[in-house]
């Protein structure tokens, strides 16, 4: 079943469209329990917004930041001199 307002495919038991919030007409005119497939309405006024993919430089910068964080954490945890400082303070 498709929303008559925005054309989003929705489950047959929904009362409202999860995309636009329009009330869905749940009454059927046929007496057969099998629902016939419906095609979405051709709405020319509705706009489809496509997400832009994440730029490569941002992916690379994120990866380098995570690797730097892992390196600093490992360096602090596994350096003997830091362990000695903590041991001497206790």
Highest mean pLDDT among 4-8, 49-53, 55-59: 55-59
Please tell me the distance from the alpha carbon of residue 65 to that of residue 38, in angstroms, as a whole number. Answer: 49
Domain ranges for the chain: 1-43, 56-89
Please tell me the distance from the alpha carbon of residue 41 to that of residue 58, in angstroms, as a whole number. Answer: 38
Q: What separation in angstroms does the CA of 17 have from each of 22, 27, 87?
A: 5, 15, 62
The mean pLDDT of the chain is 76
pLDDT value of position 4:
79
Q: Which phi and psi (to 5°) does residue 35 adopt?
A: -90, 135
pLDDT 10s digits, 11-49: 878 888 888 888 887 554 444 455 555 655 555 555 677
Instruction: Check pLDDT > 70 for residue 79.
Output: yes
């Amino acid at each position: 079943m498709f929303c008559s307002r925005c054309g989003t495919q929705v489950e047959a038991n929904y009362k409202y469209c999860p995309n636009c919030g329009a009330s869905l007409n749940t009454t059927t005119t046929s007496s057969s329990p099998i629902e016939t497939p419906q095609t979405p309405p051709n709405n020319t006024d509705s706009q489809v917004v496509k997400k832009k993919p994440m730029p490569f430089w941002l992916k690379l910068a994120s990866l380098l930041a995570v690797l730097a964080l892992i390196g600093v954490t490992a360096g602090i945890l596994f350096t003997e001199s830091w362990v000695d400082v903590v041991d001497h303070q206790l």
